[in-house]
Amino acid sequence: MADGLDRLLDYLIRREIVQQQEKSLQLTAGTTEESAEALVSDQHLVRERERRRVADLGPAFAEGLRRAYDVYRAGGDRLVLDDRRMDENAIADALVQFLVRPDLATSHTEPTEPNHYRYQIAVDWTQLAQLAAEGGVDLDRELTER
């Protein structure tokens, strides 16, 4: 994965996903000392889980973002992925985990056959570019230079 897209994914995970999950944990935590210890442990588990997801899905995220950007630059508004193709299934998983979950994209699925789906993913390019800029990443440059 390109350096800029690595930085974007890292920033997105820290700023959007982990932060949201930690806030949720804090809202449900009690006020005892044991609750505080459990909260710290749970926060550590959240960060570790997201690091594993990045390690597993980072390359698919970069590829999916590039494909989605190519569709966008060609005038389209959705990247269509078929989970029966291994590479497209990984891309769909990555984009759902890292963009749909923090509301930076939407996903619509339609069945293709039993237990298989076609994903239509629409990225909110304005919001993602803003987030990328906050993280010091020129999204357009990262997605057009290969």
Per-residue pLDDT reduced to its tens digit, 80-106: 999 999 999 999 999 999 999 999 999
Give the pLDDT of residue 92: 97
- Compute the average pLDDT of residues 71-77: 97
> Which residue reads 């990328």 in tokens?
132
% the chain with pLDDT above 90: 62
> Which residue reads 């820290």 in tokens?
14
- Compute the average pLDDT of residues 55-65: 93
Give the pLDDT of residue 109: 96
The model's pTM: 0.80
Within its chain, how far is the Cα of 11 from the centroid?
A: 11
Tens digits of per-residue pLDDT, 21-53? 555 555 565 555 556 566 556 666 666 777 787
- Compute the average pLDDT of residues 128-145: 94
Closest-CA residue to 81 (of 98, 70, 67, 102): 67
Give the pLDDT of residue 1: 43
3-class DSSP assignment, residue 110: strand
**pLDDT band of 114, cuts 50, 70, 90:** very high
User: Per-residue pLDDT for 16 more than 70?
Assistant: yes
User: Mean pLDDT, the chain, as a whole number?
Assistant: 85
